[in-house]
Structure 1
Amino acid sequence: MGDPTPTNPQDETSTQPGASPAGWWGKLRDRANQLRSARRLSRWFNVDDDKVAEILAEVRQQLPTTEALLVGKPQAGKSSIVRGLTGVSADIVGQGFRPHTQHTQRYAYPSEDLPLLIFTDTVGLGDLAQATDAIITELVDDLSSSSSKGRILILTVKINDFATDSLRQIAVRLRQQFPTVPCLLAVTCSHEVYPPSQAN
């Protein structure tokens, strides 16, 4: 029953994992295996930009996009129609319209990349400086382009606007050339003719 044999610190370190060259190699091998696994895992979640573009192009072709051509004078309630159909605020709708041609601008909803609705708005209709024929030509070109999109004409007229000759001219020409495109007449701003005593 003597004192226990004193341990040599060198003996302890020699039995610890990693203290010998074999231990170091084992650690390196384990670490390399972990890195290989991580690389394999990252490949699963890594998507090539070209592949993403290809997928988006395919989705766009199959997306049931509808184009609504809004034909009407400024302040005739076209933006209100867009807000009503999309639920988007006035600020977003106002900023969302982008120039498309000289006489039209477009707003894609919910996004430019994958639109479900495209609103094409006539710019300057009823303005003496703008020629109605030029607007008609641009709308005809738009409707003539081959597309799988559904299309609808939405004519907007303020209830108290009786100067509708240019709008009527556009509607007649477009209906003659594109009888299969549905046409909707939206009479707007009826609240402007309420009697003063009646609440809006």
Structure 2
Amino acid sequence: MRDGSASGLEWDVVESLLVSEGIKRQAGNRKHHIETYKESQTNLHAASIDVVCYNFMPVLDWTRSVLAYRLPSGTTCKRFNLIDFAVLDIHILRRRSDAVISRRRGEVAAKRFPDMSPDRRRKLAGNVVSGMPGTAETLSLEAVRVHLSAYDGVSSERLRANMVVFVRPRAACAIPWPVPLLSPGRPTLPLCFRLCDVDAVLPVRTR
């Protein structure tokens, strides 16, 4: 490809076409963002790219607590540890997470936090807020606090309803707009969606 010759590869999937926080919260300039999103997907469809991945999770989406976890084979991978995440949410970000983190996990996190060195705490925070590979922006902890505070009062039901508002008009179009496909293998918190949420969107495709 470097010399301009054809690679033989085909571009079939886009991951991801980001959904703005305004769309997720149904706030600000959301209507303009939705029209821009529709235009982007129309352009992708014109290029024969009809599979688009996206998520509807607030602020931090596919986050990890470890960026280079070493496996027995010697290779490394990313890893998510819910207790470490609870440590960050409750003791580093200092958020009220009693409705998000179970009491048992909160107790385990409370015991783990004092044993963490300052360097480990900084590394955990950096890992969680670093964004996905290729992301141009890395948020500071204060910026994360500000962004999360915008969701104060937004319940999982409200966020789910906002997702339906975003998806339903596109689900009925001739162009195959994105449909949320949600993995059961990832831990779900109250501001994340469950598999049953798909039922709120998919039926409109058959009407």
Length-normalised TM-score, structure 2: 0.27
Highest Rg: 1 or 2?
A: 1
Length-normalised TM-score, structure 1: 0.28
Structure with the higher strand share, 1 or 2 = 1
